[in-house]
Homo-oligomer: A and B are copies of this chain.
Amino acid sequence: MDSFTPTGRSTVKRLPKRGEYGREGVYQILDEGLVCHVGFVVEGQPFVIPTGYARSGDTLYIHGAQASRMLRTLRDGVEICVTVTLVDGMVMARSAFHHSMNYRSVVVFGRAAVVEETSEKWEALRALTEHLAPGRWSEVRQPTEGEMRATLVLALALTEASAKVRTGPPVDDEEDYELPVWAGVVPLHLAAGVPINDPRLPQGIEPPPHVSNYTRGARR
């Protein structure tokens, strides 16, 4: 796949060696994340709101109720910044100063547009459900016309984006390596626990494989 062209706002300025602009790497991070943080401005005031999302092709979709304040602001086509962050580990150095995190993050800039066309809206809702758990969409009751109307779907073209990634062990000052201090990385990942049946689930309905074998990090 090709790469994003770094722009003034998407170029990784601090520690530029951690910046990545390849589309494939950016999409892997977007596909693994569950929640994005959407930044937008209302009368000079920044807001940062977490929400679900999904990628389909070169488009990122978010959705919500027609009444959502955030979506009503975004649908006007204001500039937004959407950030997805995966926390991969704590980097434990020999000095407090060199402690860090291993992470993979993506920042996307642009203006969202309302998805009006029914077939694209349907595809977005499919992608949003499948993003939670691949295989889910075909097992559940799909949206009615009324639910489609009640849902606002916004599309953000993935044209201006960058990733920032830190991996590997701590980097200590040379003279600190002889200190008798444990150093290394504590890996972190989003882990799934045992599924909790809905209290009203009839007896005899077992979790399907996309639930009982759920993993998030496997796609990385």
Contacts and interface: CB of A to CB of B under 8 A. Distances in A.
Q: How many copies does the complex hold?
A: 2
Given A182-B211, A187-B196, A87 B201 contact: no
Interface residues of A, number: 96
B190 A191 contact: yes
Contacts of A80: 46
A50 interface: yes
B182 A192 contact: no
Contacts of A48: 37-39, 48, 81-83, 107
Given A37-B50, A46-B81, A186-B214, 5 more contacts: A34-B87, A39-B46, A178-B202, A182-B205, A189-B193
Interface of A: 9, 13-14, 34-35, 37-41, 44-50, 52, 64-65, 67-70, 79-83, 85, 87, 89-90, 92-97, 99, 101, 103, 105, 107, 109, 125-126, 129, 132-133, 136-137, 139-144, 147, 151, 169-170, 176-202, 205-208, 211, 214, 216
A164 to B, nearest CB: 9
Nearest 4 CB-CB pairings of A with B: A187-B193, A191-B191, A39-B48, A39-B46
A96 B83 contact: no
A207 B159 CA distance: 44
Nearest to A69: B13
A92 B210 CA distance: 11
A65 to B, nearest CB: 7
